[in-house]
Amino acid sequence: MFTDDKNDFIKNWAIRGTIFLFSIAVALAIYFISMILTTDSTELLTNKYKYVIETVKVLGLFISGGAVIVNVYFAGRRAEAMEETAKATNRNADAANKNAEAANRNAEAANRNAEAANQKQITERFSKAIEQLGSDKPEVILGGIYTLERIARDSEPDQWTIMEVLTAFVRQNAPIIKENESQSPEDQEKLLKLRISIRACLTVIGERKYPDLENKYIDLTRVNISGFNLVQFKLKGFNFTVADLFGATLTEADLTGANLTEADLTGADLFGATLTEADLTQANLTGANLIEADLTEADLTQANLTGAYLTGADLTQANLTGAYLTRADLTGADLTGAYLTRADLTGADLTQANLTQANLTGADLTQANLTEAVLTGANLTRAYLTRADLTEANLTRADLTGADLTEANLTGANLTGAYCLKPPDWVTKVLLTEADLKGAILTGATMPDGSIHD
């Protein structure tokens, strides 16, 4: 404030001084001009106009100088004013930044408080839900399950903990019955009451929102969910090792990558189910319905598929090494590139099945029906095809080295380029004892006597 008053004082005196000097200059100019015009001096009269002009010029110089001084002064004042304005602007900006920083700190504090309050609420809800899971009333248990589902959806960090809680609930309340162990009527009644709750758990687990943690999996090993209705359930990646799924309905269920090692799926309905890359090693699928199921690249090593229905199933690149497929229905199934080494296909129906490039080394196809089956490039080395029906089957470029075709029906079969004998230094040969080759196409086929059929 003092600085502003001082500046105003200087400004006022500068203006007054300039006006004073200007007034003196004008007065002097008028005085000299009057003297020149009224003088009686001969010299002045002769050059009076010249002197008047010079006087006016001098006056103009005074006026210009004064104007310059005033202009310089005000220019300086404007510069000072602009500098002061800039400083004021900077001070305001600094103040605004400080206010913004304070606001951010307040917002962060508010967020921390809100997060703390939210975590406290989640903890309280979680604890309450756990209590509800221990209730004897099914409706209370369901309430707890769905509370946990909401928490899992709202909080990613808590999802896996909740999944572990739910899987533990299923394992505890639906344990598999051990051999030589009977289930008490009370346990049976309890399981019946809990079926809805267990099914709800499986639904919540299957529809979890966030990806699983690394090296973590849904552990449902040794659970008993036999007879459960799990139509279109999402069971991707579940671990059902040694689980009891006897008679379960899994129509169109998603079991992609699931682990079903040694699981009991006897009589289970897996119509249209997705079992891509699933592990079914030594699983029991006796009489199971796998019609139109997707078993692409599934591992069925030593699995029991006796009497199973696999009509139209996709078993491309599936591993069926040592699997039991006795009397299984594989009509129209796609077994392209499948591994069926030492598999038991006795009496199996493979009508119109696609076995292109399949490996059937040492497989037992005794009395199997391979009518119109496609075995192009298939490896049937040492396979047993005794009394098998290969009517109109396509065996183009198939390797039948050492295969047993005793009493096999090859009517109308296409054996173009098929190998029926190993190279001359090997003695293994195909046994075509009483085989029916009526109408068979043997163009280029290497026959048991070493001859190449024309």
Residue 102, CB-side half-sphere exposure with 13 Å CA sphere: 6
The two tokens of residue 127 are 């604890």
Which of 115, 132, 149 terminates a domain? The answer is 132
Q: Tell me, yes or no, whether 11 and 128 share the same domain.
A: yes
Q: What secondary structure letter does DSSP report for 100?
A: H
pLDDT of res. 428: 37
Answer yes or no: are the C-beta atoms of 337 and 319 closer than 8 Å.
Answer: no
Domain assignment present for 423: no
Q: Tell me, yes or no, whether 107 and 156 share the same domain.
A: no
Domain assignment present for 62: yes
Q: Tell me, yes or no, whether 198 and 128 share the same domain.
A: no
Q: How far apart are CA 302 and CA 284, in angstroms?
A: 9
Q: Which domain holds residue 99?
A: 2-132
Q: Tell me, yes or no, whether 148 and 200 share the same domain.
A: yes
Q: Tell me, yes or no, whether 31 and 103 share the same domain.
A: yes
Percentages (nearest 5) of helix, strand, coil residues in the chain: 40, 10, 50
Q: Tell me, yes or no, whether 158 and 65 share the same domain.
A: no
Domain assignment present for 80: yes
Write the burial class of residue 212 (CB in 10 Å: 0-12 exposed, 13-18 middle, 19+ buried).
middle
pLDDT of res. 387: 96
pLDDT of res. 448: 52
Q: Which residues pair with 441 in a beta bridge?
A: 414
pLDDT by residue for the chain (454 residues), tens only, comes to 555 565 566 656 666 666 666 676 666 666 666 665 565 555 555 565 666 666 666 666 666 666 666 676 667 667 777 877 878 888 888 888 888 887 787 877 777 777 767 778 888 999 999 999 999 899 999 999 999 999 999 999 999 999 999 999 999 999 987 666 666 777 677 777 889 999 999 999 999 999 988 888 999 999 999 999 999 999 999 999 999 999 999 999 999 999 999 999 999 999 999 999 999 999 999 999 999 999 999 999 999 999 999 999 999 999 999 999 999 999 999 999 999 999 999 999 999 999 999 999 999 999 999 999 999 999 999 999 999 999 999 999 999 999 999 999 999 999 998 886 544 333 334 455 555 555 555 555 555 555 555 5
pLDDT tens-place string over residues 146-163:
999 999 999 999 999 999
Domain assignment present for 372: no
pLDDT of res. 67: 66
Q: Tell me, yes or no, whether 61 and 126 share the same domain.
A: yes
Domain assignment present for 375: no
Q: Tell me, yes or no, whether 117 and 155 share the same domain.
A: no
Q: Tell me, yes or no, whether 46 and 127 share the same domain.
A: yes
Specify the number of domains making up the chain. Answer: 2
Domain assignment present for 398: no
Q: Tell me, yes or no, whether 147 and 122 share the same domain.
A: no
Domain assignment present for 185: yes
Which of 95, 115, 132 terminates a domain? The answer is 132
Which of 132, 161, 191 terminates a domain? The answer is 132
Domain assignment present for 109: yes
Task: Single out the residue of 330, 322, 321, 327 nearest to residue 352, CA to CA.
Answer: 330
Q: How far apart are CA 448 and CA 21, in angstroms?
A: 138
Q: Tell me, yes or no, whether 127 and 147 share the same domain.
A: no
Helix axes 156-173, 48-133, angle to 10 degrees: 10
SS (H, E, C) 384-429: ECCCCECCCCECCCCECCCCECCCCECCCCECCCCECECCCCCCCE
Q: Which residue has the tokens 């203006």?
A: 15
| 369 φ, ψ (degrees, to nearest 5) | -100, 110
Q: Tell me, yes or no, whether 111 and 73 share the same domain.
A: yes
